[in-house]
């Protein structure tokens, strides 16, 4: 028990006169209780308690009426702290009123003071790890070793739309379960629980309604920690690495649709592949834009290049009757022109004036080209000179 607990009795000597009950001298004084009673058989007296601060301010603490003999009435609402120079004054309407006051005092400030400064604290036999426990029999706080348990570990954890999690006992435990790509880590040294949602599994996210990702002028990058970047999206472009496209219908070949301006409509140009391919096919595009009028050519191995498509028309070419010779059962004649290359494709077309002569001679549509000349064939020697037009196509 605190060793400076004090008790004082006071009986008033005059009625309706403020008389000094107590003046604090210690720097810190805690008044625990002030009770008043009367020993008259049928009392009917009023008792008033006032506090006058050392600075001069005065305030009413409590006023009570005593109407029963030897029945104590408390004049304090709670423990009253006083400073040195503070005074308590009592006023009563009867000289038979008795006051009893109990207090503790210390010469040090209450902040940082030992628990021994409190009258209702018993530290007898205190040991390391003891905690104050209230004893209702003695009315004191006593030092005891903690027994564990005690109150519940926590109250109620409420989550909107879910059942509340409530503590059922002092040793109840809250368990956090990681799900939906959430990773939970703990650091015992700092008592820290960390929730991390950056790891996602195949079935982590289900979008059940419309969702929107606002890039807000930034870039969204999807990365594989082993192979590097997978995709990059910004407000102006989308960059996909190692892109592969499949149709959702397993019976269809894949296709890419390129839409017209949305202000014009929803028409598109579709580039696609057949539903069945004998093997993988790779096309490698040229390294330049080419020039106007050029066309793409493949080398048969998937390498594409631009070439100039040349079409030359030569009119007024003539084939005399003496130019024909019999070769392997057909009559053959040669028409020369410098525009014909070894790779040229040449169409020989008789003019209108020679059409009937060519028909009678059975001029064939077959031609053979070589550098500087083209050969034409007929089943008979034409009866007169043929006039023809050469359409020379170079690839």
- Model confidence at 351, pLDDT cuts 50, 70, 90, reads very high
Contact 232, 219 (CB under 8 A): yes
Give which of 135, 24, 327 is closest to 8, Cα–Cα. 24
Dihedral pair phi/psi, residue 321, rounded to 5°: -65, -25
Tell me, yes or no, whether 378 and 331 share the same domain: yes
Instruction: Report which listed range, 37-51, 189-203, 357-371, is most confident.
Output: 357-371
Tell me, yes or no, whether 316 and 388 share the same domain: yes
Structure confidence by residue, pLDDT tens digits, 102-161:
888 764 445 556 777 677 888 888 888 788 888 888 888 888 877 655 566 677 888 888
Q: Which helix (H) or strand (E) holds 206?
A: none
Predicted confidence at residue 106, as pLDDT, reads 66
Rounded to the nearest integer, the mean pLDDT of the chain is: 85
- Model confidence at 177, pLDDT cuts 50, 70, 90, reads confident
Tell me, yes or no, whether 336 and 270 share the same domain: no
Alpha carbons 252 and 274: distance in angstroms, whole number: 8
Tell me, yes or no, whether 261 and 323 share the same domain: no
Predicted confidence at residue 199, as pLDDT, reads 56
**Selected residue with higher pLDDT from 355 and 168:** 355
Q: What is the DSSP string of 317-335?
A: EEE-GGG-EEETTEEEEEE
User: What sign does the dihedral 374-377-381-385 (CA atoms) show?
Assistant: negative
Answer yes or no: is pLDDT of 29 > 70.
yes
Residue 46 to residues 15, 40, 68, 90, 343: CA-CA distances in angstroms? 10, 14, 12, 11, 134
CB atoms within 10 A of CB 234: 13
Dihedral pair phi/psi, residue 295, rounded to 5°: -125, 160
Give which of 107, 145, 116 is closest to 27, Cα–Cα. 107
| Apex 337 CA angle, 324 and 321, nearest 5 | 20
Residue 330 to residues 273, 285, 315, 318, 349: CA-CA distances in angstroms? 45, 45, 25, 19, 19
Contact 365, 321 (CB under 8 A): no
Alpha carbons 66 and 374: distance in angstroms, whole number: 143
> Any residues with CB less than 8 A from the CB of 254 and at least 6 apart, and which?
245, 246, 247, 272, 273
Tell me, yes or no, whether 315 and 380 share the same domain: yes
Domain end point (choices 55, 88, 106) = 106
Q: How far is CA 105 from the centre of its chain?
A: 59
Tell me the CATH number at 338.
2.60.40
Q: What is the largest CA-CA distance in the chain?
A: 169
- Model confidence at 314, pLDDT cuts 50, 70, 90, reads very high
Answer yes or no: is pLDDT of 313 > 90.
yes
- Model confidence at 181, pLDDT cuts 50, 70, 90, reads low
- Model confidence at 336, pLDDT cuts 50, 70, 90, reads very high
Tell me, yes or no, whether 353 and 265 share the same domain: no
Quote helix, strand, coil % in the chain, to nearest 5.
5, 45, 50
Instruction: Report which listed range, 88-92, 174-178, 227-231, 321-325, is most confident.
Output: 321-325
Q: Is residue 138 part of a domain?
A: no
Tell me, yes or no, whether 10 and 94 share the same domain: yes
Tokens of 321: 């009757």
- Model confidence at 277, pLDDT cuts 50, 70, 90, reads very high
Alpha carbons 264 and 371: distance in angstroms, whole number: 52
Q: Is residue 203 part of a domain?
A: no
Answer yes or no: is pLDDT of 265 > 90.
yes
Tell me the CATH number at 65.
2.60.120.340
**Selected residue with higher pLDDT from 243 and 206:** 243
Predicted confidence at residue 1, as pLDDT, reads 39
Total of domains in the chain: 3
Strand-pairing partners, residue 134, are 141
Tell me, yes or no, whether 224 and 268 share the same domain: yes
Residue range 80-95: average pLDDT?
A: 88
Q: Is residue 58 part of a domain?
A: yes
Q: Is residue 327 part of a domain?
A: yes
Tell me, yes or no, whether 266 and 322 share the same domain: no
Q: Is residue 119 part of a domain?
A: no
Residue range 318-327: average pLDDT?
A: 94
164: DSSP letter: P
Q: Is residue 149 part of a domain?
A: no
**Selected residue with higher pLDDT from 198 and 10:** 10
Predicted confidence at residue 231, as pLDDT, reads 92
Tell me, yes or no, whether 32 and 80 share the same domain: yes
Answer yes or no: is pLDDT of 34 > 60.
yes
* Residue given tokens 């929730």 in the structure block: 195
Domain end point (choices 265, 281, 297) = 281
Q: Is residue 117 part of a domain?
A: no
Tell me, yes or no, whether 26 and 100 share the same domain: yes
Q: Is residue 83 part of a domain?
A: yes
Tell me, yes or no, whether 28 and 75 share the same domain: yes
Q: Which domain holds residue 328?
A: 310-394
Predicted confidence at residue 22, as pLDDT, reads 87
Contact 307, 315 (CB under 8 A): no
Domain end point (choices 90, 106, 122) = 106
Rg (CA), the chain: 56
> pTM for this one?
0.38
Strand-pairing partners, residue 192, are 187
Predicted confidence at residue 3, as pLDDT, reads 47
């Amino acid at each position: 028990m605190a060793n400076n607990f004090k008790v004082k009795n006071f009986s008033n000597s005059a009625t309706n006169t403020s008389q000094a009950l107590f003046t604090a001298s210690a720097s810190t004084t805690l008044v625990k209780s002030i009770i008043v009673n009367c020993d008259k058989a049928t009392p009917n007296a009023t008792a008033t308690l006032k506090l006058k601060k050392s600075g001069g301010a005065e305030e009413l603490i409590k006023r009570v009426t005593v109407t029963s003999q030897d029945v104590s009435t408390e004049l304090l609402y709670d423990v009253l702290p006083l400073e040195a120079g503070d005074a308590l004054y009592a006023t009563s309407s009867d000289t038979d009123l008795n006051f009893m006051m109990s207090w503790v005092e210390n010469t040090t400030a209450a902040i940082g003071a030992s628990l021994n400064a409190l009258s209702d604290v018993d530290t007898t036999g205190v040991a390391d790890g003891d905690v104050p426990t209230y004893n209702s029999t003695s009315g004191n706080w006593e030092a005891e070793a903690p027994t564990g348990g005690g109150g519940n570990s926590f109250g109620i954890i409420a989550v909107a739309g879910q059942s509340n999690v409530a503590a059922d006992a002092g040793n109840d435990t809250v368990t956090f379960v990681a799900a939906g790509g959430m990773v939970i880590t703990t650091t015992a040294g700092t008592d820290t629980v960390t929730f991390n949602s950056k790891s996602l599994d195949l079935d982590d996210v289900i979008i059940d309604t419309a969702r929107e990702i606002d890039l807000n002028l930034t870039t969204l990058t999807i990365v594989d920690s082993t192979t590097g970047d997978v995709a990059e999206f910004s407000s102006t472009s989308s960059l996909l690495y190692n892109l592969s496209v499949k149709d959702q219908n397993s019976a269809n070949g894949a296709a890419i649709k390129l839409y017209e301006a949305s202000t014009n409509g929803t028409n598109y140009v579709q580039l696609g592949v057949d539903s069945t391919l004998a093997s993988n096919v790779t096309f490698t595009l040229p390294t330049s834009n080419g020039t106007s009028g050029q066309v793409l050519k493949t080398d048969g191995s998937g390498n594409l290049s631009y070439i100039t498509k040349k079409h030359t028309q030569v009119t007024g070419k003539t084939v005399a009757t003496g130019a024909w010779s019999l070769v392997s059962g057909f009559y053959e004649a040669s028409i020369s022109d410098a525009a014909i290359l070894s790779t040229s494709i040449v169409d020989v077309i008789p003019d209108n004036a020679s059409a009937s002569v060519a028909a009678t001679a059975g001029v064939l549509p077959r031609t053979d080209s070589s550098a500087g000349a083209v050969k034409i064939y007929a089943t008979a020697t034409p009866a007169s000179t043929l006039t023809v037009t050469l359409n020379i196509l170079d690839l």
